[in-house]
Amino acid sequence: MKIYRESAEGSATKIIAAARKSADIGNFETGEEILERRKGVSKLTSGSKNLDNLLGGGFETQSITEFFGEFGSGKTQIMHQAAVNATMPAETGGFDCDVLIIDTENTFRPERIIQMSKAKGLDPEVVLKRIHVARAYNSHHQILLAERASELAKEFPIRLLIVDSLTSHFRSEYMGRGALSERQQLLNRHMHELLKFSTIYNAVIAVTNQVSARPDVFFGDPTAPIGGNIVGHTATFRIYLRKSKGGKRIARLIDSPYLPEGETVIQVSEDGITDGV
């Protein structure tokens, strides 16, 4: 393979083109090609050094990072912060890119983006212009929006795609054991569409997931994330969030292919996601 010889920008463009080509045709890649593509992986800061360290440097491109936890555990706050951070230049841990948010619960708040931008010394208007939000009204619509993400990515440099929440529509539309296999099949297709986007555009995919409040239906564990094995096996990084005192949250890394399991503390405040004091 000679096309990846140069470094930095030129090389990244070629990696993207090659990934796009192979994804379109469904081609095989050699181990060498995958290794070269993996060299293009970059990391987006979460806003918290603690959380970045837990993730091995931040949110990784070419993979899916999933946050799960109960209501109010900070999942949506982390997504807002990631969106703001992605617009920052590389020197400060960003991608200088645009962001796509698929919002399924109507919890995107531009006011929060403004607060977090100001805390970072960024111009909130500039940041807001780079965040593209699509409301998904049901699971079918959500799948469709993810499939169309690449159209937006041709117009804007999207390198962060957020789905908040990944599972809420699926959960409410496919109730009970009878609907489980259809739900899992659709979720599987959706997750692989997202993963494909992450590879083609060298993008971070960040998704949120609830914990099951119905242990009778969902795998018996009241703190188990929705979506079971399908979501678990496709997400590369899974972080379990739980509340602690004074705006603090405990983040636990679960099931990473190459990072040790571990826990850390982050702070949710008006300024956004930080290490706190």
In this chain, which residue has its C-beta nearest to Mg ion? 76
Report if residue 110 touches ligand ADP, rule: CB under 6 A.
Answer: no
Interaction with Mg ion in 97-136: which residues (CB under 5 A)? 107
Per rule CB under 6 A, is residue 71 in the interface with ligand ADP? yes
Work out which of 53, 184, 256, 269 binds ligand ADP, going by CB under 6 A: 269
Q: How far is the CB of 235 from Mg ion (least distance, A)?
A: 17
Q: Is 69 in the site for ligand ADP (CB under 6 A)?
A: yes
- Residue 263's H or E segment, with its range, is strand 262-269
Of residues 158, 83, 156, 160, the one with CA closest to residue 114: 83
**Contact region with ligand ADP (CB under 6 A), list: 15-23, 48-56, 73-81, 197-205:** 73-81
| Helix or strand run (H / E) with residue 51 | helix 49-54
Residues 6 or more apart in contact with residue 143 via CB below 8 angstroms: 186, 189, 190, 193
Q: Does 72 bind ligand ADP (CB under 6 A)?
A: yes
Q: Restricting to residues 113-132, name those near ligand ADP by CB under 6 A.
A: 115
* Beta bridge partners of residue 239, listed in sequence order: 67, 253
Residue 207: closest CA among 257, 165, 168: 165
* Residue with smaller CB distance to Mg ion, 86 or 162: 162
Which of 42, 46, 77, 274 is close enough to bind ligand ADP by CB under 6 A? 77
- Assign 109 to helix, strand or coil: coil
Instruction: Give the nearer residue to ligand ADP in terms of CB position, either 200 or 268.
Output: 268
Q: Is 238 in the site for ligand ADP (CB under 6 A)?
A: no
CB of 64 to ligand ADP, least distance (A): 17
Q: Are 165 and 210 in contact (CB under 8 A)?
A: yes
Number of Cβ within a 10 Å radius of residue 105? 14
Q: Quick check: 18 and 3 in contact, CB under 8 A?
A: yes
**76 touches Mg ion by CB under 5 A:** yes
Q: Which of 66-74, 119-127, 231-239, 251-259 is the region at the interface with ligand ADP (rule: CB under 6 A)?
A: 66-74
Beta strands in 52-202 (DSSP E): 59-60, 63-69, 98-103, 131-135, 158-164
Q: Cα(first)–Cα(last) distance of the chain, in Å?
A: 49
Q: Of 107 and 184, which CB lies nearer to Mg ion in the complex structure?
A: 107
Q: Is 40 in the site for ligand ADP (CB under 6 A)?
A: no
Interacting residues toward Mg ion by CB under 5 A: 75-76, 107
Interacting residues toward ligand ADP by CB under 6 A: 69, 71-77, 115, 247, 268-270
